Amino acid sequence: MELTVSDLSVARGGIAVLEGVSFTIASGEALVLRGPNGIGKTTLLRTVAGLQPPLSGAVGLERDAMAYAGHADGIKSVLSVRENLQFWADVFETGSIDAALDAFDLRGLENRAAGGLSAGQKRRLGLARMVVTGRPVWVLDEPTVSLDVASVAMFADAVRAHLAGGGLALLATHIDLGLAEARVLDVEPFKAVPPPLDDFDGAFL
Ligand SMILES: Nc1ncnc2c1ncn2[C@@H]1O[C@H](COP(=O)(O)OP(=O)(O)OP(=O)(O)O)[C@@H](O)[C@H]1O
């Protein structure tokens, strides 16, 4: 499997933010997007994951191959940790949630209502959902927000296991995950150039 992004231009609120982005990620590989706040990393990830259309260019994989985790954890607060994961296992028809509970050290919390978890515990539950989806392509936006050092290492291990199983990952993060094998793509050079003004006088009004 391979995720190929070709000459992709993406927009937020109707305004182009990144233009001409191209990369390929093969099975077993991870690519980390880097760039300053507001450059368009979230917009690029959402476009690659099929949550919004590109302005132009192409993503050479079906949306069904991907699991996306954004800033929101997507957890149901009245359900327990176990019920949350079971819900996703049912949606994705993947069966067991044991591997996800173990990967993110959630065994001791499995009967706790998700609404009563700490921010970092909620984040671990949200990331455990990626394991449960069984999907080969993980698209992750700032996955380590709220995680302590041990949990970041736990997350890096989960990504490594995913890659070892033939999966691939595309991530945006500002911190060092300790994933030495991951490639890094700085998206700043792809910053969109504003269109030239076609109303010279109007620009001064
Ligand atoms: N609803 C919106 N309408 C218009 N512009 C928006 C909207 N939401 C975000 N933007 C702008 O789009 C640009 C790209 O935002 P995006 O969230 O993709 O950046 P980012 O690189 O992920 O930033 P960060 O590192 O802060 O998470 C930013 O300049 C942002 O202000």
Res 81 pLDDT > 80: yes
| Residue among 8, 39, 48, 174 whose CB has most ligand 1 atoms within 8 A, to mutate | 39
pLDDT tens for residues 19-46? 999 999 999 999 999 999 999 999 999 9
Q: Match domain 2-194 to its CATH number in 3.40.50.720, 3.40.50.300, 3.40.1190.20, 3.90.110.10.
A: 3.40.50.300
ipTM: 0.91
Q: Is the CB of 70 under 6 A from ligand 1?
A: no
Q: Domain map of the chain by residue range?
A: 2-194
Closest ligand 1 atom, residue 35 Cα: 21
Protein residue with least CA distance to atom 16, ligand 1: 40
Q: What is the DSSP letter of 124?
A: H
Cα 146 off chain centre by? 15
pLDDT tens for residues 161-185? 999 999 999 999 988 888 888 999 9
Q: Is the CB of 47 under 6 A from ligand 1?
A: no
Tokens of 99: 């591997």
Q: Is the CB of 136 under 6 A from ligand 1?
A: no
**Who wins on pLDDT, 201 or 7?**
7
Give the C-alpha separation, 133 to 7, whole Å: 29
Tokens of 160: 């490594």
Map residue 10 onto helix, strand or coil. strand
Task: Flag the least confident range among 144-148, 156-160, 182-186, 191-195.
Answer: 191-195
Q: What angle do CA 174, 181, 46 make, to 5 degrees?
A: 45
Tokens of 50: 């099929």
